[in-house]
Structure 1
Amino acid sequence: MPTVFSMPDAVFSRRVSSLKYRRLFAVLLFAPYLNAQAGFVEESAERGESLFLDDIPVVLSASRLSQPINEAPAAVTVIDKQMIKDSGAWDLSEIFRLVPGMYVAYHADPYFSADSTVAYHGMVTTTTSDRMQVLIDGRSVYSGLFGGVNWSDLPIVLADIERIEVIRGPDSASYGANSYLGVINIITLHAAESRGASVSFSYGNSRSEAVFRYGAKSGDLSYRMTASIRKDEGENALIQHPTSQDKFWTLNKYDNKTMQIFNLRTDYQINASDTLEFQFGYNGGPREVGEYDNVAAVTRRAENHFEMLYWRRALESGGELSVKAFHTQERVNARLIDSDGISDGDARFSRFDLEAQHTFSPFKNTRLVWGGSVRYDNTYAPYYLGVGDNQYLYGDFPYHLQRLFGNLEWRVRPDLVLNAGAMAEHNTYTGSDVTPRIALNWHATPDHTFRISHSRATRSPSVYEKIYEGYWRGADMYPSLPPLQTERVKSTEIGYMGKIAKADVDFRIFYDDYNELIDVRKEKSAISGDLNAGRALMRGYELQVKAPLGDATRIIYGLSGGTVKSDNINGVIYSDSLPKYSHSLLISHKFNEQWQGSLVAYQVAKTKFNATDFNPVMNRGYYVDGNRRFDGRLAYQFKMAGNQAELALIVQNIANAHYFEYRHDNEFPGRLTRLKLKVDF
């Protein structure tokens, strides 16, 4: 059984923190009524549904139903194409700095892949950030080996993204285990939306990229092809402001990489009711990995590809029937050198997934989406899965998953919407689980909506964790250890969405209770008799504001903060792993028809991570100091030989700040400047 959580109640009832949350919520709770129209209550019985939905963005991901964002059962941040462009982001992972509550670290992983960490709500005990689901067009790219996502290995370019929906909170009811802290769904452009050809070239210090895209339509078939090559020299070789003069902490990681990407998407309108979508993607190229006096790649190349087929039929009743099948193959070919000599660093991961989904209206004022899926994963990674006496060194590691899911949306009254859903799933690692959610959205006025929800979510062990469990439970170790279980969370939130003056405001407070948290890396956990002994309580707030400042200017502001309290059993640190606050601010302005600019500012408070680089002799603890950063973009649109063109100057880290993210050998590489030329034909 999990260790009993014994933290004193006083720790969780500090008056200063509680009053801060109460006052902040109270301001937003009563502010809407200052602008409410007189007589609204008396007229409420005569209002129709449309009164609450005019000019409201629609989201597709929160419940698997297409819903106005103020009727979704969870908080959702929508990042559109213009935000992506205005952010000046180079890597896909950088975009998520604009999401309240998200922590992004530049190239944090020193071992398997020199890649960024994207983590929601702290709880970052590994660089892979394995507690959040990531989808591309509904296709899971959550890796089975370590969990999490290898962002640089995804076969996608920023130019093909229509928008990104980020569900801020657990969503296992819709997407199952591993949708533990939140879900990112990256939605690409329909093939018909990108006709013609375009080329773009980017060049700057340490970075360069070329992208070619062509789209066309032939009868009822639309298609798009995108090819790109990018080179990234990563962090500076030397740390500018090391926290220790020990050589290990004066050198950054090996993280140079080249990415060759190709994508194909076709959309075929079979008849008036049926559509068929096919996607293929490839990402490959040489990668560096490792750090000083540890593991370094002699040769290393990543190869990833996927194929997806998606059939949809529009039903006469207004519903839809769909079937989606995809295959993913990730492959790393590597020879690694460490203190023991040269090792086999090859790794392979494959996934086959089949999902069917049906949406319809069973009764008046209701909609129901339900369906199921089956999945088969297989992993091979002798170097990374070899533990102890290497009894698990060779062989493939299969994983089977079956799911049934459903979500009912019931419009109780024109101003009251109930969402109730659940996911039932069974996997070969931990057996069966059911993860429910219920949410109630109340349109207090046409411009102001309140939401209250409660959900439960799980995270299944990764292959790495499952193999380590087998090692600790070996005959020569701790055979009486109970089997590894899923991590669990109970999450409650109160949210508000509305329009105050011209600003769209999204605010929520949340209380999350995490238990059965997995740790297989420390022998202390095995000795204690439970690899699922961790527990943490998190409470906090998030605010997102989108507002126009005149006809040519808009701002997007994000704020989040909170606390995490834990007994930190077996030395696994969760307490204070959520920054006390983080800010993001994007200001974009259109000067005239030719000139447009944007400025982005980020600020993150001091952050506490797991004891990955704790060394009291070097006077370095668990904390990474707070930091702030400014990025800018200035673009000029013009005609080139009769074709539309744009030249953009992008500067990241304008102030040339040298700060650490995640660890003290992970220093952001100072000011980065690049020019980008894009021409549409």
Structure 2
Amino acid sequence: MDASYPLAILIFAAALAPPTIAAAENELTELSLEELMEVQVTSVAKKPQSLANTAAAAFVITQEDIRRSGAIAMPDLLRMVPGMNVARIDANTWAVSARGFNDWFSNKLLVMIDGRSVYTPFFSGVYWDAQKLLLEDIERIEVVRGPGGTIWGANAVNGVINVITKHASDTTGNLTTVKVDSQESGTISYRHGGQTTGGLSYRVYGKAAEQGAGSGGADDGRVGRIGFRTDLQTNHQNTYTLSGEAYRGTMGERFEPNTLRDPYFRNLTSDSEISGGHLLARWVQQPANERQLEVQAYLDHSKRDQFYFEDSRTTFDLDMHYRFPFSDRQEIHWGAGWRYIENDSSPALWHLNPDSRSDQKWSFFIQDEITIIPERLRVTIGSKFEHNDYTGFEYQPSARVLWTPSSWHSLWSSWSRAVRTPSRFEHDGSILRAPTAAPNTYITIEGDSRMVSEVVYAYELGYRFQPRTDLLLDAALFYNVYDKLRTIEPSPPHASPPHLIPHTQIPAIVDNKLRGETYGLELAAKWQLSPQWALHAAYSYLDMQLHTASDSGDLLEEGDEKDSPTHQLFLRSTLNLPHAWELDADLRYVSETMRNEQSIQDGGEDYLTLDLRLGWRPHPGLELALGGRNLLGKKKEYRSALIDLQETEAAPTVYGSLVWHY
């Protein structure tokens, strides 16, 4: 055990000051447990449901959680969720997944912002450096672990994250925020909101962020973004939303690519240029008879120019869904969608052939919610049907059961089938990769249009229990069976062309020769010791077993079972002190990730980290905070096996912030 562990536990314990020191004049600023259980979750069934009546492993990060976290990046917020795997690679790059398979190119997690998918078809993952939202505009973040393909479609394999921003009517007035830290990072943002006499609510905002380099790296960056949102309710039945955003930035990166000359690698730095924007429109019609129609369309464009590749993408998405009571005990929910994507790339170390292509996806889903015993037993069955240009027809059924014997207990179980369709790179791409252990050798990883979708069959069981008004417990068990997972299969080596430096080339083709099982346990608890003091705890256990086919010579993928930590523990204390002061502490433990011994040496060891925050609200609308992150020393959280991106250390950081509502 690291020598800093006992010290960290002692400091965290010291932050757990007795609640009796808090003055009675302080009001509880967080949601009560009863209110938390009634928080509306829309990402499980595409309709509002209370958290207590959700037949899924759902977790809600509230605005109060965000405010008191001191986080400046969205992935940092996800660390408090059991079952989420979050690792910082460098100051701009993250590996984020749910229930295993964590990597820079994590491809089994669907991430949305207000229902708009932010995944890239290039590798079926998320560019987190482009998701630097104004955190004060977020109402809540809904995290659903487990498949969500029946409602959301392909790539919602191990989880769904939906960031819900505030209604424009909730952001009237002005907001100015300034945040700086000791790593030469800082953000400044401004927002103005208002309402017109015709019932139109609006907000406009801008944000500039400067990211300092991590310890030992050249991964500094800067991003600016502007945006708006309008909401209009013409009567009690129709609501209209229009929102848009544009951003541009530069991100530093450091690489150590292998070469054909001694010492067989180089240390390079590069600046990546990123830009993009979107426009989203939504219409919701909800008569008083429990029927609801929702139509949403968005146009999204993004462009990246990086050391390894250049990529430009334009997406148009149209989606509608309608739900209605079929009988006194039955509700039908159905919907359809169409997505069109244009993708252009320029030749680089990562190459796509053809450079440009357009793809379409059609989808339809239907879900039947049946009440067996009113307010006690409910069954939901349904499926999504899709057709895409890569693998053709796909289906994703599920069945969920929710039993609530009393208002204090709820037990749920589910079975799901979900798919992860091939990415553009897996279908059309190629990349040169030189293994460090084999000088004068290059592996050419090539996509294959014959690759089929990865499949998961998921079995889940969950239990929510509120034994007392001040204590809430949540547990989830899962067992996932995967088939047709991606492998990288070597072909016979051959000599290099005569005009190049003599070396050996090994072609490696993407295939589907891996299967596996994962199972795990996820626990969450919240204890409201007093109106001023709350504790939150989360623990997750994960076991992954992956197996290649007998005829597979896979080079990398079987090591994925060691890329995600087996144990994770998160503890948070939030304490309201007298005279509008706040003291918050986060303690987090992550067990080792061990693809190989080099991973342990370069950033795969287990770690314990501590974050502290001291806040003061001297006046309504004004908040000052001083805090520290990673207070137990430098650490590397992740080591990539596929790419030569140089990881940097997350160093201890002191920060200060000002938030002014006026």
Partner of 2:462: 495
Deviation at 1:258, TM superposition (A): 0.2
Aligned partners of 2:354 and 2:428 also within 8 Å: no
Aligned partners of 1:199 and 1:679 also within 8 Å: yes
126, 144, 167: which one aligns with 1:167: 144
Residue 652 (structure 2) pairs with residue 671 (structure 1): yes
Higher strand share: 2
Q: 4+ residue stretches of structure 1 with deviation over 4 A?
A: 52-55, 293-299, 384-387, 477-482, 520-530, 619-623
Aligned partners of 2:100 and 2:561 also within 8 Å: no
Task: Determine the C-alpha separation between the residues in 2 that align with 1:332 and 1:288.
Answer: 13
Structure 1: runs of 5 or more not aligned: 1-51, 238-251, 337-342, 472-476
Matched letter for residue 503 of structure 1: L
Matched letter for residue 438 of structure 1: A
Partner of 1:380: 344
Structure 1 residues 572-651: aligned runs within 5 Å: 572=557, 573-609=559-595, 624-639=604-619, 644-651=621-628
Aligned partners of 1:440 and 1:452 also within 8 Å: yes
Task: Determine the C-alpha separation between the residues in 2 that align with 1:593 and 1:480.
Answer: 61
Matched letter for residue 123 of structure 1: F
Task: Determine the C-alpha separation between the residues in 1 that align with 2:626 and 2:513.
Answer: 50
What secondary structure sits across from 1:70 in the alignment?
helix
Structure 1 residues 141-540: aligned runs within 5 Å: 141-154=118-131, 156-206=133-183, 207-219=185-197, 220-237=199-216, 252=217, 254-292=218-256, 296=268, 300-333=272-305, 336=307, 345-383=309-347, 386-387=350-351, 392=352, 395-414=355-374, 415-468=376-429, 483-501=450-468, 502-520=470-488, 531-540=511-520
Distance 1:317 1:679, change over 3 A: same
Partner of 1:91: 73
Task: Determine the C-alpha separation between the residues in 2 that align with 1:524 and 1:168.
Answer: 41
Distance 1:596 1:432, change over 3 A: same
Matched letter for residue 499 of structure 1: Q
Structure 1 residues 536-547: aligned runs within 5 Å: 536-547=516-527
How many positions carry a matched residue from both structures?
Answer: 584
Structure 1 residues 58-73: aligned runs within 5 Å: 58-73=40-55
Aligned partners of 1:582 and 1:604 also within 8 Å: yes
What secondary structure sits across from 2:82 in the alignment?
coil
Task: Determine the C-alpha separation between the residues in 2 that align with 1:584 and 1:480.
Answer: 39
Task: Determine the C-alpha separation between the residues in 1 that align with 2:281 and 2:448.
Answer: 43
Matched letter for residue 212 of structure 1: Y
Deviation at 1:103, TM superposition (A): 1.3
Aligned partners of 1:495 and 1:509 also within 8 Å: yes
Structure 2: runs of 5 or more not aligned: 1-33, 258-265, 433-443, 494-505
Task: Determine the C-alpha separation between the residues in 2 that align with 1:534 and 1:140.
Answer: 28
What secondary structure sits across from 2:125 in the alignment?
coil
What secondary structure sits across from 2:327 in the alignment?
coil
What secondary structure sits across from 2:429 in the alignment?
helix
Task: Determine the C-alpha separation between the residues in 1 that align with 2:446 and 2:614.
Answer: 62
Aligned partners of 1:379 and 1:463 also within 8 Å: no
Identity of aligned residues (%): 23
What secondary structure sits across from 1:533 in the alignment?
strand
What secondary structure sits across from 2:561 in the alignment?
coil
* Cα RMSD after superposing both structures: 2.9
Task: Determine the C-alpha separation between the residues in 2 that align with 1:234 and 1:626.
Answer: 23
Partner of 1:654: 631
For residues 291-332 of structure 1, give each alpha carbon's deviation from its aligned partner in whole angstroms, at most 9, with x where no partner exists: 145585655321110000101111242211111000110012
Q: 417-426 or 570-579: which moved more?
A: 570-579
Distance 1:375 1:155, change over 3 A: farther
Deviation at 1:55, TM superposition (A): 5.6
What secondary structure sits across from 1:575 in the alignment?
helix
For residues 438-459 of structure 1, give each alpha carbon's deviation from its aligned partner in whole angstroms, at most 9, with x where no partner exists: 0111113321111111001100
Aligned partners of 1:490 and 1:513 also within 8 Å: yes
Task: Determine the C-alpha separation between the residues in 2 that align with 1:228 and 1:92.
Answer: 15
Task: Determine the C-alpha separation between the residues in 2 that align with 1:217 and 1:421.
Answer: 41
Deviation at 1:234, TM superposition (A): 3.1
Aligned partners of 2:522 and 2:541 also within 8 Å: yes
For residues 369-410 of structure 1, give each alpha carbon's deviation from its aligned partner in whole angstroms, at most 9, with x where no partner exists: 2111000112222235854xxxx5563122211110122222
Aligned partners of 2:254 and 2:270 also within 8 Å: no
Task: Determine the C-alpha separation between the residues in 1 that align with 2:492 and 2:67.
Answer: 47
For residues 416-451 of structure 1, give each alpha carbon's deviation from its aligned partner in whole angstroms, at most 9, with x where no partner exists: 011112110010000111101101111133211111
Distance 1:350 1:637, change over 3 A: same
| TM-score, L = length of structure 1 | 0.81
Distance 1:107 1:458, change over 3 A: same
Distance 1:275 1:660, change over 3 A: closer
Aligned partners of 1:385 and 1:467 also within 8 Å: no
Aligned partners of 1:130 and 1:147 also within 8 Å: yes
Partner of 2:441: none
Matched letter for residue 379 of structure 1: N
Deviation at 1:551, TM superposition (A): 1.1
For residues 64-98 of structure 1, give each alpha carbon's deviation from its aligned partner in whole angstroms, at most 9, with x where no partner exists: 12112233231101000111122211211111111
What secondary structure sits across from 1:145 in the alignment?
coil
